[in-house]
Amino acid sequence: MNECRYSESKSISSTRPLKNAPVLSITAGTRHCTLLNSNEPPEDSEIPPIRSLISDADAHLARIDNKISKIQETLKQLEEERSSLLNYRVRNEGIISPLRRMPPEVLGEIFWWTLPSISEAQKSEIADSPWTLTYVSSRWRAVSLSNPSLWSQIVIDYDTELPDPLSLIEARIQRAHRQSLKIHFSGSEDVAPGPQIQMFQLLLQHSSRWEELSLTLTSQIVPLLTEFSGRLSSLKRLWIDWDDLEGQTDFEPLVCFFTAPSLVDVGISSEYRFVPVALPTYQLSRYHIYAPWAWHKNALKLATNLVEVYISAEFDDNQWPDTDEIIILRHLRRLFVSNPQILNYIVAPAPEELAFSLSLSMPLAKALRPNISSC
């Protein structure tokens, strides 16, 4: 028998149909089939049977919707049960986790490796390590607070964004206990000086614990440096950066670092003018300083313990005097010079590494090759 079907009446499921489901097929050639497949208007006598078919379809749709609702409710209950069971399993699995049995000293070492680098710390938020470690569990908090090295690196950068509040910096210093501090302070002439001065004064209260100091100077910070001469007993590494020309007003040489008994590594960078800093050059093993050649020459005569040196000869007219005086650096192993002319004034008996600026012509580079090898 030929049948007239809805185009929408294709089976969408292989499940058993509900009882009393209407038959979705119509005998071909019937008036009903014609009305379904054309736009002809029905006769008045044909409307009641059609309404009856619609009513039957509505009843069946209601039964289908009810079944779907029950299935969805069952699915929701199963999903909730699965989620609860999965959480229960994970919690029980945590009981036998090797991390729970890990010795505190090993866990502390792992925590140390989560600390951000200096560049990352300048962009980090308060919630970053090590702060976030204290919120995981009571054990992690105890291990974090018992490891002063996690808190000893203090990064404050006014040049990119406002740093943590004073109270958090003070809390961090306290958690470092008596651990030596690594201070990285970047001031800015574009930020109100009051908060910067307060922050730096807080750090100055603990200057005897500074092991490392990286400092971007401002005209407001420089006067504070004169107040703590003789209070840098632990300072080993120093880096000073001052590239703001407008802030570099006339000031006296910085002498506070001259009496730092442990200072062995110094770097001073400035783009526009020499920053005069009195240093214990006789005890330095490494320095990287932007200064006129005359300053370098006097410093190298005293720096007999240098192992590595970056000689950036800047801020002069590049007039090189006669090589009537040769500087001998017996312990030097690594040498960088901004101008190959400097090699005419230095003798290093046992160098291991040598570098110089490549902004010179090829004939000059070939002419300097014998001097480089003999140095």
Strands, sheet with 308-313, edge to edge from the N-terminal-most edge strand? 153-157, 181-186, 210-216, 237-241, 265-269, 286-291, 308-313, 334-337, 353-356
- pLDDT at residue 275, rounded to an integer: 87
Q: Which helix (H) or strand (E) holds 340?
A: none
Spatial CA neighbour of 263 closest among 252, 253, 278, 248: 278
Pairing relation of β-strands 210-216 and 181-186?
parallel
Residue 44 has pLDDT above 50, yes or no: yes
Residue position matching structure tokens 């030596």: 180
- Contact (Cβ atoms closer than 8 angstroms) between residue 267 and residue 289: yes
> What's the CA gap between 246 and 167, in Å, rounded?
31
- pLDDT at residue 48, rounded to an integer: 92
Q: Which residues pair with 25 in a beta bridge?
A: 5
- pLDDT at residue 336, rounded to an integer: 93
> What's the CA gap between 44 and 199, in Å, rounded?
92
Tokens, residue 253? 């040489």
Helices 193-204 and 166-175, axial angle in degrees (round to 10): 20
- pLDDT at residue 253, rounded to an integer: 82
Q: Which domains does the chain have, with CATH numbers?
A: 3-9+17-95 (no CATH), 98-143 (no CATH), 144-374 (3.80.10)
Would the pTM count as exceeding 0.75? no
Helix then strand then coil, % of the chain, to nearest 5: 40, 15, 45
- pLDDT at residue 363, rounded to an integer: 45
> What's the CA gap between 371 and 375, in Å, rounded?
6
- pLDDT at residue 207, rounded to an integer: 92
Report the phi/psi class of residue 318: left, alpha or beta, with left for phi > 0 and alpha for psi in -120 to 50.
Answer: left
> What's the CA gap between 21 and 11, in Å, rounded?
13
Residue 272 DSSP SS3: coil
What is the per-residue DSSP string for 228-265?
A: -TT--TT--EEEEE---TTT----PPB-TTTT-TT--E
Please give the mean pLDDT across all residues of the chain.
Answer: 83
In sequence order, what E strands does 104-244 have? Answer: 153-157, 181-186, 210-216, 237-241
User: Is the alpha carbon torsion for 174, 175, 180, 186 positive or negative?
Assistant: negative
Q: Which helix (H) or strand (E) holds 337?
A: strand 334-337
Q: How confident is the model at residue 288 (pLDDT cuts 50, 70, 90)?
A: very high
Q: How confident is the model at residue 360 (pLDDT cuts 50, 70, 90)?
A: very low
- Contact (Cβ atoms closer than 8 angstroms) between residue 309 and residue 287: yes
Tokens, residue 50? 């059609």
Spatial CA neighbour of 26 closest among 10, 2, 44: 2
- pLDDT at residue 321, rounded to an integer: 74
- pLDDT at residue 4, rounded to an integer: 64
Find which of 24-28, 220-224, 249-253 is predicted with most confidence, using mean pLDDT: 220-224
Which residue has better confidence, 24 or 123? 24
Residue 24 has pLDDT above 50, yes or no: yes
> What's the CA gap between 220 and 267, in Å, rounded?
21
- Contact (Cβ atoms closer than 8 angstroms) between residue 258 and residue 234: no
Q: What is the dihedral of CA 25, 31, 32, 34, to 10 degrees?
A: 80
